[in-house]
Chains A and B, each alone.
Chain A
Amino acid sequence: MNMSEMTALMPILMLSLTAVVLMIQASIKRDQAVAWWITAAGLLLSLWGAGYARDFVQPVTVLLVVDDWGLFFTTLILMASLVTLILSKESFSPEGERKEEYYLLLVLSVLGAVILIQSSHMASLLLGMELMGVALYGMIAFPEKGELPLEAAIKYLVLSACASVMLLFGFALIYAATGDLTFAGIGAKAGEAYAREPVLLMAGSAMILAGLGFKLSVVPFHMWTPDVYQGAPTPVTGFLATVSKGAVFIALTRFFIEGQLYQYSSLIFALSAVAIASMLVGNWLALQQQNIKRLLAYSSIAHFGYLLLVLIALSMAIDADTNRLIGEAITYYLAAYIVTTLAAFTVVATLAGEDDSLSMIGAFDGLFWRNPLQASVLTVAMLSFAGIPLTAGFIGKFYLMTVAIQSQLWVLMGALVLGSAIAIYYYLRIIFAMSKIPPASIKLGSQGDINKGPRVEFGPQDLLAALLMLLVLLLGSWPQPFIAFAGSL
């Protein structure tokens, strides 16, 4: 590796450096405040590194590829990690001196996500996913109080292990068929291999899709999602929903495009079935949820169902224009999803913290009168999830519709419309709960309650929530600069 390749790896190097510095700091003097600042500085340095590396885009060894698209998503997930870090500062305070370990795990998990985003080889795909996952098990089970985090971590661990096994077996089958482990190499040899060993190639690709589908929690691999979302500490849930899922989706897209999987009709058929099931089942099950974290879990299942539509459209793409549109749609939708999800989880983390009873929808009754700022942020987030104009989610949905129409995927578009229609009901239910006028008697009672009392002070979390809300509105009302930027990637 030469100097220019090392420079291209700047974000990865900076994150690794942060992990090492955190280890050294913990061995000298354990102090969670110092560890927090080191992590924050490390993430900011990595952000700088992601910008700096843009002048050095190139494949680095066979394992990683550094390109503009990957660097943009690296920047995005580093920002999401910063949000998680800020939210984590006040969370699980009983851990006290032990929180350095949490920050170390956070940095390692982000490192795994960055590797996943930039992977161009099956080995780096698996290693990145495992690094992200193993650090996440620790983060989910981090709080000592209560059994929910431990239960969530066990569920996530066992099912992730199944997913990894599935993925590895898929890799082995594809390697047996093509004799190559790089995405591009598989793409180049897949045609010839398909003529010779169609079953091997199809079974292998299907297993890889299933393995990644577990991490994306698309139906029928979605069983773990609500329990893990509910059990994990709220900042970690936000991290799982944005960084983990986003990075896996990028890796899936890379493998799908470079491995040229879009040319096999049976695979596209399976993917369409998964996408439609995710859209309908995810939205349908969300209707019944009383816990906002579980509701967001089902809503994320539906959102990744919507996103799969874009991958399916690749099979129909005939000209370069459609391909560019599909690229923009992925970038825009994923960015909108990540920003909106972060806004929603910022509010849930601020208001409910780790108290499970406070994350019930009933606990949000009359929020507009108690905490207007957080209520507005949650309203904007819900509207954006539902795809109401002037929010980021609307432009995202608009992109998906355009892609679906251009590629003539009518069945999928029908499912998208139907799913969105169901979704409006439960998103609005939260907004209605928040806008209920609290009866005088309850109001008096809630003022005595410290948790539910009106918050007077303006903390960093409020600032963060306001910023994220502005970002959602900005992406939705003035999207041209971002669209132009996404088109240039």
Chain B
Amino acid sequence: MLEITLFYIAATIALVATVLAMTRANAIHALIYLIVSLLAVAVIFFLIGAPFAAALEIVIYAGAIMVLFVFVIMMLNLGEEGDARERGLLHPKIWAGPALLSLMLFSELLYMISTVDGPVSSGVVTAKEVGLALFGPYVLAVEIASMLLLAGLVGSYHLGRRYLEREE
């Protein structure tokens, strides 16, 4: 019962954050809501007994990829105008919404850690099991994924290079 309630709270936060991310006009605001949405999904992973997937969700999606997005967008508005804009980003009106949603997720986590003894879900998938599956029956999928990354890399390199050369 506890697990279900916690799941619904996290799922609601994920939905609300995603809808807000889609409806924001400013790209930075949208990205911050998207990060919250990914954090909420990580909590759901945690609840269903996949702490490794939850950690990856935070490290890779909310961490690496989203920060990359934010960096790129911030680098695009350099100069005086960009500075003024960035000062505007520190206004509470902008970070209050995402902060509130994150706080709810955080309190959910704190509640779980403080009250629940042992795992919340029925089974736990450890990092070792994930590794064994990936390099056991699914080893071909890992190899195919590496080729997929190569295709993405070469394609974006070709498309990006033409703009670099044009500027020179």
| A contacts, CB < 8 Å to B | 1, 16, 19, 23, 60-64, 98, 101, 104-105, 108-109, 111-112, 115, 123-124, 127-128, 130-131, 134-135, 137-138, 141-142, 144
Known: A62-B138, A108-B147, A131-B151. 15 other contacts (CB 8 A): A1-B139, A63-B137, A101-B157, A104-B154, A105-B155, A109-B151, A111-B147, A123-B141, A124-B140, A127-B141, A127-B148, A134-B155, A135-B155, A138-B154, A141-B155
Q: Which residue of B lies closest to A22 (CB)?
A: B154
**B89 within 8 A of partner (CB):** no
Smallest CB separation, A314 vs chain B (Å): 29
- Closest Cβ of chain A to B63, distance in Å, is 22
A111 closest partner in B (C-beta): B147
Q: Is B145 an interface residue (CB 8 A)?
A: yes
B91 is an interface residue with CB less than 8 A from chain A: no
Say how far B30's CB is from chain A's closest CB, in angstroms: 17
A104 to B158, CA, bound (A): 11
Q: Does B152 contact A (CB under 8 A)?
A: yes
The answer to whether A64 touches B158 (Cβ under 8 A) is no
Could you give, for residues 54-87 of chain B, a 1 whenever the CB lies within 8 Å of some chain A CB and a 0 otherwise? 0000000000000000000000000000000000
Q: Mark B82-126, 1 if CB is under 8 A from A, else 0.
A: 000000000000000000000000000000000000000000000
Question: Which single member of B140, B148, B152, B159 contacts A61 (CB below 8 Å)?
Answer: B140
Contact in complex: B150, A61 (CB < 8 Å): no
Per the bound structure, the CA–CA distance linking A1 and B162 in Å amounts to 43
Select from chain A the residue with minimum beta-carbon distance to B156.
A138
Q: How far is the CB of A426 from chain B (nearest CB, A)?
A: 34
Within 8 Å by CB of B152, from A19, A127, A134, A141, lies A134
A257 to B138, CA, bound (A): 23
In the docked arrangement, what's the CA distance between A23 and B7, Å? Answer: 47
Does any Cβ of A come within 8 Å of B164's Cβ? no
Give the CA-CA distance A128 to B145 in the complex, in Å.
9
Give CA–CA (A459, B161) in the complex, Å.
Answer: 33
**In the bound complex, what is the Cα–Cα distance between A141 and B155 (angstroms)?**
9
**In the bound complex, how far is the Cα of B148 from the Cα of A41, in angstroms?**
22
User: Which residues of the other chain, A, contact B147 by a CB distance below 8 angstroms?
Assistant: 16, 19, 108, 111-112, 131
CA distance A135 to B158 in the complex (A): 12
Is B144 on the interface with A (CB-CB < 8 A)? yes
CB proximity of A169 to chain B, nearest CB, Å: 14
Report if A61-B158 is in contact (Cβ < 8 Å); known contacts: A108-B151, A134-B152.
Answer: no
